[in-house]
A = this chain, B = another copy of it.
Amino acid sequence: MKHAHLIWNEIDAKQVYKCRVFSVRDTTSEAPDGTKNVFSVIDAPDWAIVIPVLDTPAGKKFLMVRQWRHGSRSLSLEFPGGVLEAGESDIAGAQRELAEETGWKAGNIIKLGEFSPNPAIMSNRLHVFLAKDLIYTGKQDLDDDEYVDVEQIPVDEVLKGMGKEPYIHALMASALCLYLALGSGA
């Protein structure tokens, strides 16, 4: 088997913490040479991120959301996205999050790829979509504790700003990487 010398085998697992957004599991695994260790893994539902692209007379713009983030304790300007609901497909979740957060719907939505948000310590997946042919409905549908400003930002401005405030969301950058790497802007 290719790369067999790198592959660990999980021999035990138990949940050690749980809250509204994620839980933590201690997993005991064994390396091919017999080395054993316990690794902490965070379990959470899958997430979706949508890159909504608008063709405007002033050029291509991204539809983005500005919101407070409680982990970083800062404002973040990012693509719409969120947690998939139980039993919901990735594409349905992406369409729902886009509509709820921005009040825009996608006439055309394409999956660009899939990541592990952090394969070292997280078990869930991040599904990345490109949304085109956007239609404005004006019907934002936010949670009671969700405050979101919707903004249209020129693509070049986002590219130049990445990795600095307010473009500090790494997972949004991973979505943008797919957009750039796959030549979706072409």
Contacts and interface: CB of A to CB of B under 8 A. Distances in A.
A135 interface: no
Which of A32, A71, A112: most chain B CB closer than 10 A? A71
A176 B19 CA distance: 32
A118 B120 CA distance: 14
Binding site of A, secondary structure by majority: helix, strand, loop or mixed? mixed
Interface size class of chain A, counting residues whose CB lies under 8 Å from the partner chain: 35 or more
The 3 A-B residue pairs whose C-beta atoms are closest, nearest first, are A113-B163, A69-B119, A72-B119
Given A17-B17, A17-B24, A39-B70, 10 more contacts: A6-B147, A20-B40, A22-B40, A70-B120, A71-B119, A112-B163, A113-B163, A115-B170, A163-B181, A177-B180
